[in-house]
Structure 1
């Protein structure tokens, strides 16, 4: 190996600059799936990472647990050492009173899903049938999707949801949900809407 004396001062400076620019490969991201928020904070701190604002996924089961992470476990970390986590509501109260409600008698329950892309979704379920409906909260987006007989949704009548009584409405931005004795109707500027019957029945329109 040539010494820096033989290479000269200029060459030694170039070698020193190249060495300084070399960075060790990023450690892989740890696994957060299945952890609670508190457990995730501990794992992130131990790994020298920080959590981005939590996103909520409205689905049965695994209440309060991580159901998705970005970057994925074992993948290279982001340059800022942050991790994005999706937490399942488990169809239970998520301690976001302004973002969840039920209709009189618990005929239907709804929660805002912030784990959606590119905008939030409104997700409602019908405990009597187990049907769930998802509608994007935004203008110019697609129509509502209906999922029938969702395991875990049938019979799910959690306590702690704000009640929207007959003749009352729940609003979020341009979204309006109106409850009466026959159905829950949610709409966005009358361009997109769905109707979930108190006993049975579903209809929707999207432009």
Structure 2
């Protein structure tokens, strides 16, 4: 990180490569925006980690921000509570340029979490905060509203498609619908019905 800071004095946000205990890159932490309106993103390709690279969306795992950037964009959105708080923060920081991942600065992420893992209380915040962040940064227009409806439909459809979700189908469906409604109406903060 020190080497990268010296080499890139104008760069405001740095990160390390996130590695799982099995040695594989956890690529969900560094993403590229693929649609500027809906703010959809995809993980940076595995091969890209062979060298330093720039990207658009970070998670909070292994991030180093300049004090100047924090002074400009403020602190993370406390009312998001959990999920997509880092996504929204990255959108704010991105206004001042892309982020630089330093490939040989390695962050060991001791986690068993995968995107396939679902818990109804967490999924409520995924739905709500994704919608809230989209409306905050892209506004309410036909494209963002359509995307939010499609996002809800995809989540509901996934309940039927994945057998590991069938046993909690009703709680998941309720969480997604509640998250959709609260995201659209900007009802943020901790929801007492969806806590660990």
**TM-score tier (shorter):** under 0.3
Instruction: Give the structure with the larger strand fraction.
Output: 1
| Structure exhibiting the larger radius of gyration computed from Cα positions | 1
Question: Higher relative CO (CA 8 A, sep ≥ 6), structure 1 or 2?
Answer: 2
Instruction: Give the structure with the larger helix fraction.
Output: 2
When normalised by structure 1's length, the TM-score is 0.26
